[in-house]
Amino acid sequence: MPEPERLGTVLLCGASSGIGLAVAAHLAPRCRRLITSSRRPAAHGEWVPADLRRVEQIEGLAQHLEGEPLDALLFLGGTWEREAFSERYSFEECSPEEIGDVLAVNLAAPIHLIQRLLPNLRAAQAAKIVVIGAALSGLDGQARPEVANGASKHGLRGMVQALRQTLKRQRIGISLIHPGWVATPEVLADLEAAGQDPERTIPLEDLIRVIDCALALSNRSNLTEVDLTNQG
C-alpha cells in the first residue's frame, strides 16, 4: 500500500493540551500548513488564539483562512462542569454560566465553525471533519450524572448525523469518534492521584491511528462513527 499523501491545510481546535496537543504534534510534519487554535498557547503549528465560546472569535479564526482550501478541520477540544467525573460533582451547584460555557464550547462552537468554514472545505479535493465526542457521557448506554456535558455530547452526535446529510452531497467527510479515557498526561495524573490503574486508558497512539484513517480516505468514502474503548 502506498504511503498516504501529505495533507494540505489543517485547522485543529483544542491544541494546547491533552488529545489536541498530541494530535497536533503528530500532524505538524505531515501537512503543508497546520493552524492550531486554543485559548492558551499551542506548541505546534501556527497558533491563532480564540475563545470558541465567542462567535466573533470564531469569525476571526475563519478570517485567518479566508479564501484558502481547508483539507481537514479537527475539533478536539471540549470542557465540562467543575468536579465532573468525580463523586464531588453536583448538578444543583452548577451555575448558569458554567452550564452555558459547556454547551457553548462543546456544541455551539463546532456548529458555528463548520458553518463558517464550509466554503473553505468545499474548495478542497477531499475535505474531512473530525469531531471528538465522548464515551463517558452516556453515549455507550451508561448514563453519567454530568448534565451539561452529557447533553452537549448527545447534541454533538445529532449535529454530526444531520450535517452528514448535507456534506455527503458535497463530498465532505465528517467523522465522530467516541473515546473512553485516553492516556494523556492529564488523565494519567488524575488516575494516579485517585490510585486507579492506568491500564484502564486507551493509548494515545491508537486514537491517532483512527484519526489518521479518517483523514486518509478519498472523497468517495467516509468513516462515520467510531466507539474506541478500552479492553480492560
Q: All domains of the chain, ordered by start, with CATH?
A: 7-228 (3.40.50.720)
What digits encode the pLDDT tens for the residues 108-122? 999 999 999 999 999
Which residue is associated with the grid cell 504511503? 3
User: Quick one: pLDDT at residue 2?
Assistant: 42
CA atoms within 13 A on the CB side of 75: 28
At residue 130, φ and ψ (nearest 5 deg) are -125, 125
Q: Residue 1 pLDDT > 50, yes or no? A: no
Rounded to the nearest 10 degrees, the angle between the axes of helix 18-27 and helix 204-216 is 60
Mean pLDDT, the chain, rounded, equals 85
Residue 183 cell numbers, joined: 492516556
What digits encode the pLDDT tens for the residues 48-83? 999 888 999 999 999 989 889 999 999 997 776 566
* Best CA proximity match to 33, nearest among 9, 49, 66: 9
Other Cβ atoms less than 10 A from the Cβ of 230: the count is: 16
How many angstroms separate the Cα of 67 from the Cα of each of 62, 109, 123, 144, 166? 10, 21, 9, 42, 21
DSSP assignment of 147-178 equals HHHHHHHHHHHHHHHHHHHHHGGGT-EEEEEE
Q: How far is CA 166 from the centre of its chain?
A: 20
pTM over 0.85: yes
* Best CA proximity match to 133, nearest among 91, 97, 177: 177
